Amino acid sequence: MKGILWKKGKKLKGWKPRYFELRDNFLFYYEKKPEDLPKGRKTKIDIQFEGIIYLSGCNIERTADYYITKKCGFVITCKDSGYPPRYLYCTSPGELDEWMRHLGKFQ
């Protein structure tokens, strides 16, 4: 599963679009989709991921703010990792259902 999700920033708390890719029990995210980089700019450094979320043992649930903010969101909480919850949202309820179906395997 891969696609654009909006991620809540750690410092400024704004929402930023990021390209996410689910591989095994890891959710990698990139500032830009690797295929969207200009030609000749696909070195290892250019496509390095911005972050990674280890999903095993994490709690993944929908957020309840769709009717207020129109965001189709979910939160990933990893209790024993020491990391804060990761808030993400999609652009449609159908896309959210698809992400939840794929991510639900790792709870």
Predicted pLDDT at 106: 76
- The reply to whether the predicted model has a pTM over 0.85 is no
- Find out whether 70 and 22 touch, Cβ atoms under 8 Å: no
Cβ partners under 8 Å of residue 5, min gap 6? 17, 18, 20, 29, 88, 89, 90, 99
Cα separation of 38 and 2, whole Å? 20
| pLDDT tens string 22-66 | 998 999 999 877 666 556 555 544 567 789 999 988 999 998 776
- Given this model, what pLDDT does residue 105 score? 84
Per residue in 71-96, pLDDT (tens digit) is 789 999 988 778 889 999 998 889 99
Enumerate the β-bridge partners of residue 16. 7
pLDDT at 1: 92
